[in-house]
Amino acid sequence: MSPTYQPLFEPFTLKSGIQLKNRIVLAPMTTWSSNPDGTVPDTELAYYARRSGGVGMVITACTYVTPNGKGFHNEFAADRDEMIPSLRSLADTIKGKGAKAVLQIFHGGRQCPPELVPNGETVSASDVPLEKEGAVAPRPLTGDEIQAMIQAFGEATRRAIEAGYDGVEIHGANGYLIHQFFSPHTNRRDDEWGGSLENRMRFPLGIVAEVKRVVAEHAKGPFVIGYRFSPEEPETPGITMEDTLVLVDSLADQGLDYIHASLMDFFSQPRSGADTETTRIELIRQKAGDRVPVMGVGSIHTADDARRAIQTGIPLLALGRELIVDPDWVEKIQSGRESEIKTTLSKNDQAELVVPDPLWKAIVNTPGWFPVQEHQQ
């Protein structure tokens, strides 16, 4: 391996005491590939196995914590104890390849397709519908339902512990339920769960506190707790960089193992509400200080992209699409073959890349999402 890339392969010890063998993480990505009953099929296990050998940690695709939280067709479930054997099969697959296994727990809120949730009734912080034609307004959760929802995240965490995961990531990003409570665009409540920034943080921080409580009660050893967030929204009003830095400041005091900034471009700069000359990830790192490690993600395609990213002082880098396009990305750098990393795929590569049919169809039929060539170069 070139010494240039050595920093990517330094071990890293999280606050809980769990050590990662390197700084590269498989980012959470939906696969639309689970069974109708919410269990994980062999095709999905094979997909994870193919990508878990080189990275230090794998964050799974999101899994829903209540029946009305299912955000995707063929999403796998963590909403009931019957799912523990299925969840265990995924944890065992990832850990069997030498990576730490982290289960991402989630509720889709207003983004859930009505046909996937009981009685077609979607729920959210407020009755603000999605910005698309024909969208139905979600029903605002009651105070009692909010408390029950917080507990549901705790119950999913208990199942993750029982299934043998090394940790959980709370999915507070990308416009889903936790994000909907934090955002002034989707949270128009006038009770203790809405209005001021402090009130809008109450739901996310309540989930963090409940997850921590469950881990303290049920985990027999070190257990990772991470939190993913989206730094900004395009809407006005919406989440600003300023809002996010207040959230980061609070999250940094919670004893978390990491916070994960969901970005399309690692080096992107804020829209407004902060120093727009500085990258978002740098502002987040400055605010977090040495209180909590920051994980960055977004358009890290090559070994040199990763080297540049790690040089910013961000200790953990998550790769998503890159590890679909080239599952051997990490191993190629490690063995001095970084020039062989593939950055495009062809429509004939499915079998070689071990990608389940539903995900493959999405890849080849969604223009601009993946760099698809007609023939591999």
Domain layout of the chain by residue ranges? 3-343
- pLDDT digits 0-9 by tens, 292-329: 999 999 999 999 999 999 999 999 999 999 999 999 99
Active-site residues, by number, are 176
Q: Determine the pLDDT at residue 272.
A: 77
Q: Determine the pLDDT at residue 107.
A: 98
Cβ contacts of 145 within 8 Å, gap of 6 or more: 123
Residues of the chain with pLDDT under 70: 375-377
Cβ contacts of 115 within 8 Å, gap of 6 or more: none
Residue type, 347: K
- CATH topology assigned to domain 3-343: TIM Barrel (3.20.20)
- Residue reference for tokens 């990491």: 258
pTM reported for the whole predicted model: 0.98
Q: Determine the pLDDT at residue 376.
A: 55
- Residue reference for tokens 């029950």: 148
Angle at 84 between CA 255 and CA 224, to 5 degrees: 15
